[in-house]
């Protein structure tokens, strides 16, 4: 039995898949570009009767995948994944400092790599115009 409890209501409908972009999209988490040919996560969900679509870039997915593997109960919400991550890293460090020594470093490393990649993509896209 898991001690995992996420403090938000589940979606009424939640469908996700990872697919390849056929055109440029915006990431729901970081507002960066998802370029044609990149793999990204597409989610259709209905929360409290409101349908929405979330597209998450591979850079944000890298951060989220790392935390999903590293934390026994990583609860995140769309458009708040980074804030949720930092809160849960702090909590994990408070509860089991010796067991999560590299967690914050690994998270920040991936977050910086993602930010640099976004900046590079943005400057390349601006140069192409």
Percent of the chain with pLDDT strictly greater than 70: 91
pLDDT tens digit sequence for 11-69: 899 999 999 999 999 999 888 899 999 999 999 999 889 999 999 999 999 888 888 88
Domain count, the chain: 1
Burial class of residue 20 (count of CB atoms within 10 Å of its CB; 0-12, 13-18, 19+): exposed
Angle between helices 58-70 and 81-95 (to 10 degrees): 20
Domain presence at residue 55: yes
Domain presence at residue 8: no
| DSSP one-letter code for 98 | G
Residue 72 sits in a domain of what CATH number? 3.30.1740
Could you tell me the residue range of the domain that residue 44 belongs to?
A: 13-127
Radius of gyration of the chain (CA): 16
β 50-56/39-47 pair status: antiparallel
Angle between helices 81-95 and 103-127 (to 10 degrees): 160
Domain presence at residue 59: yes
């Amino acid at each position: 039995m898991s001690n995992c409890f996420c403090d938000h209501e589940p979606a009424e409908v939640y469908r996700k898949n990872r697919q390849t972009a056929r055109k440029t999209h915006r990431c729901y988490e970081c507002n960066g570009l998802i370029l044609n040919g990149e793999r990204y996560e597409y989610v259709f969900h209905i929360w409290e009767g409101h349908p929405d679509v979330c597209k998450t870039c591979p850079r944000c997915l890298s951060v989220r995948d790392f935390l999903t593997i590293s934390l026994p109960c990583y609860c995140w919400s769309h458009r708040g994944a980074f804030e949720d991550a930092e809160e849960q890293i702090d909590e994990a460090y408070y509860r089991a400092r010796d067991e999560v020594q590299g967690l914050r470093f690994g998270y920040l490393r991936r977050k910086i790599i993602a930010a640099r990649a976004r900046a590079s993509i943005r400057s390349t896209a601006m140069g192409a115009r």
